[in-house]
Amino acid sequence: MDICKAHENASKCSMNTMKCFMVLSTQTQKISIATLCGLFGTLCIFENSLVLYLIFSSPGTRRKPSYIFISSLALADILASIIFVCSFVNFHVFNEIDFSKETFLLQLGGVNTSFSASLSSLLLTALDRYISISRPSEYKLLMTRKRAWIALVVLWVTCATIASLPLLGWNCCTLNSTCSELFPFVDDNYLSTWICFIMVLLVCIIYAYTHVLWRAHQHVAYMEKYQEQVGKQNTRMRMDVMLAKTLVMVLTVLVLCWSPILVLMIYSIFARLSNHLRKVFAFCSTLCLLNSMVNPIIYALRSKELYSSLRMVFSRFRRQLKASEENPEVESTHKSSMIET
């Protein structure tokens, strides 16, 4: 840390100072980070790719705004996993610094864009459930496929714009301002702005889900009271309650995974971080991958449509596997008979 403190002024933007951000000092720590990133990243990519396949292989799911938002979440998590794992492992495990400041900020912008889009997709999903439960009779008129795609385009453009601000000039090197202790070349004021953006998204999601839970509780009470009279409306309410509970589970996992790094980011703005806390931040960063890995599992377990599609995929795979196991025997028998002839 003493060496890093000496570089804070004149050479704070030198590539040599990036070594100060490589906080993993032992081989055990590096192996642990590489194992966590490799495990979470691989599972995240596989699971979210499977979710995208299940959604777009079925005409019934890919046309619904709810699953359009979920597919955006899955895509954001895939991109976040790829960019985060590659850049994070190269930097902290292999200590690669053979790249320019612009390249590093581009990688950081890609990670921020993906994770911000993931969180924003959850916000759109929460708003979709909010409208579905609060105004069910007008839902199909308010939430159309066209509006869903427009909202996604606005979402991704906004996230990409905010994430690219350091690359466009809002960094401590260009402005000669205070640099962050957690990210090289990042201005403290920009980090504060990004944290505020994330906190606003979280507050909006929490508000939407609070309303969804309240209405879901009302629906459950209504179903218990008029169970014999509601008929098909009862099924519709059960679907809304089921999906609402699913999304609350996603939100709970999101808050648990993101709270540690957000707290450390906020703390780094007002106080100096010790080397131990910076190591803690490096390990807590892998919780973002854990969040992206858990989301598809929740969908598969809670969504009846995706779960049924998943069962069909597995049953089809089993049939193909059995067919492939039987074919070699048939071919070998045919070849032996040809040789005997």
Assess whether pLDDT exceeds 50 at residue 302: yes
Is residue 340 assigned to a domain? no
Q: What is the mean pLDDT of the chain?
A: 81
DSSP secondary structure string for all residues of 101-143: HHHHHHHHHHHHHHHHHHHHHHHHHHHHHHHHHHSGGGHHHHS
pLDDT band at 218 (very low <50, low <70, confident <90, very high): confident
Buried b (16+ CB within 10 A) or exposed e, 273-305: beeebbbbbbbbbbbbbbbbbbbbebbbebbeb
Asked, for residue 4, whether it belongs to a domain, the answer is no
Q: 296: domain range?
A: 24-227+238-304
- Per-residue confidence (pLDDT) for residue 64, from 0 to 100: 87
Label residue 57 by pLDDT band (50, 70, 90). Answer: confident
CB atoms within 10 A of CB 93: 18
pTM: predicted TM-score of the whole model, two decimal places:
0.83
> Which DSSP letter does residue 319 get?
H
Residue 259 sits in a domain whose CATH number is 1.20.1070.10
Question: Which residues are paired to 187 by β-bridges?
Answer: 179
* Span 136-158, pLDDT tens digits: 888 888 888 999 999 999 999 99
Q: Is 179 helix (H, G, I), strand (E, B) or coil?
A: strand
Alpha-carbon Rg for the chain, nearest whole angstrom, is 25
Q: Give the number of residues written for the chain.
A: 341
pLDDT of residue 151: 94
Summarised one tens digit per residue, pLDDT across range 250-281 is: 778 878 888 999 999 999 988 888 888 999 99
Lowest mean pLDDT, pick from 127-131, 223-227, 287-291: 223-227
Domain-embedded: residue 9: no
Query: pLDDT digit string (tens) for 96-123?
Result: 777 788 888 999 999 999 999 998 998 8
Q: Which residue has the tokens 């009846």?
A: 304
Residue 269 lies in a domain: yes
Between 135 and 284, name the one with better pLDDT.
Answer: 284
Q: Which of 21, 14, 2 is nearest to 173 (CA)?
A: 14
The Cα–Cα gap between 123 and 199 comes to: 12
Predicted local confidence at residue 240, as pLDDT: 58
Question: Which pLDDT value is given to residue 236?
Answer: 53
For 286, the token pair is 């892998």
* Residue 150: DSSP 8-state: H
Name the percent of the chain lying above pLDDT 90. Answer: 31
Long-range contacts of 234-242 (CB under 8 A, 24+ apart): 236/136, 240/129, 240/132, 240/133, 240/136, 240/216, 241/216, 242/302, 242/304
What pLDDT, on the 0 to 100 scale, is given for residue 84?
92
Question: In terms of pLDDT, which residue wins out, 93 or 303?
Answer: 93
Torsion on CA atoms 219, 224, 228, 229, rounded to nearest 10: -40
- Domain count across the chain: 1
Angle formed by the axes of helices 232-270 and 286-302, nearest 10° = 180
Statement: residue 164 has pLDDT above 90: yes
In a domain, 320, yes or no: no
